[in-house]
Amino acid sequence: MSDKPFFSVNDLHAYYGESYIVQGISFEINEGEILALLGRNGAGKTSTLRAIARMSEPAVHQGEIWMDGHALHTMPSFQAAQLGVGLVPEDRCIIQGLTVEENLKLAQIEDPIGWPLEKIYEHFPRLAERRKQEGTTLSGGEQQMLAVARALARDIKLLLLDEPYEGLAPVIVQEIERILTSIKELGITTILVEQNAVAALQLADQAMILDTGHIVYKGSAQDVLDDEDLRHEYLAI
């Protein structure tokens, strides 16, 4: 059995034009863990997720990204996706004009295929009820569920979630938390970016806090919950 971590980032630097956003960060995640990636607006959280997913922006000028022995830093985004990297962006990117089920089936037009529709509907009963409804007409919370389910429709190994609770009512946040707990129990490695830091920390195993592109904390999620000074200084909670 390999003693290497399932996922690692080594000395990652990323830019938007001349703006130096991610400034030499390194971290590791064990398989099946959830990492809460936290920090104030502009800290570099979303840019880190996009760099891992190999999106065209931000531009990555230096660093290595490894997942299960694969060098993601050498790949375009579609190849990273084929290996099991799934990004659920903050804007959810539901395809207009397609039903819930069509959005899910579109994610499965190429191998490798992940969860079958029956399993998706078992874990997302709201989507089962609305399978024939156009995806963009769903509520915000239901669209978030669809975005997560669409990622799971692929053979996902690393789930990247960007602000999944953003703009959602507390009762819907609880539903999303239930789904993420279920995903964790299935052993899917997850990086969760979330402004609702307490909710993210309660779900996560590890936590990492960014401040102006640098790591200022890396360690146990519970330790952040217990450290009022740390939360106040970097998370304003």
> Can you tell me the distance from the alpha carbon of 183 to that of 108, in angstroms, rounded to the nearest whole number?
19
Q: Where are the alpha helices (DSSP H) in the chain?
A: 45-52, 77-82, 100-106, 117-123, 125-129, 140-152, 170-185, 197-203, 221-226, 228-235
> Can you tell me the distance from the alpha carbon of 168 to that of 147, in angstroms, rounded to the nearest whole number?
14
* pTM score: 0.93
> Comparing C-alpha atoms, which of 103, 215, 78, 212 is closest to residue 153?
103
Per-domain residue ranges of the chain: 7-235
> Comparing C-alpha atoms, which of 201, 132, 84 is closest to residue 75?
84
7-235 CATH fold: Rossmann fold (3.40.50)
Give the pLDDT of residue 35: 98
Q: What is the pLDDT along the chain (237 residues), one digit of tens a residue?
A: 457 899 999 999 999 999 999 999 999 999 999 999 999 999 999 999 999 999 999 998 899 999 999 999 999 999 999 999 999 999 888 999 999 999 999 999 988 899 999 999 999 999 999 999 999 999 999 999 999 999 999 999 999 999 999 989 888 889 899 999 998 998 999 999 999 999 999 999 999 999 999 999 999 999 999 999 999 999 987
Q: What tokens were used for 2?
A: 């390999």
What angle (nearest 5°) sits at the alpha carbon of residue 25, between those of residues 23 and 31? 150
> Comparing C-alpha atoms, which of 233, 184, 230, 229 is closest to residue 204?
184
DSSP state of 154: B
Helix pair 170-185, 140-152: axis angle to 10 deg: 10
Give the pLDDT of residue 236: 84
CA distances from 50 to 15, 16, 78 (A): 11, 12, 13
> Can you tell me the distance from the alpha carbon of 147 to that of 166, in angstroms, rounded to the nearest whole number?
13
Give the pLDDT of residue 4: 84
> Can you tell me the distance from the alpha carbon of 23 to that of 15, in angstroms, rounded to the nearest whole number?
9
Q: What is the CA radius of gyration of the chain?
A: 17
Q: Which residues pair with 191 in a beta bridge?
A: 35, 160
Give the pLDDT of residue 1: 46
CA distances from 60 to 12, 48, 65 (A): 7, 10, 11
CA distances from 221 to 217, 224, 237 (A): 10, 5, 15
Q: What tokens were used for 59?
A: 């531009």
Give the pLDDT of residue 110: 84
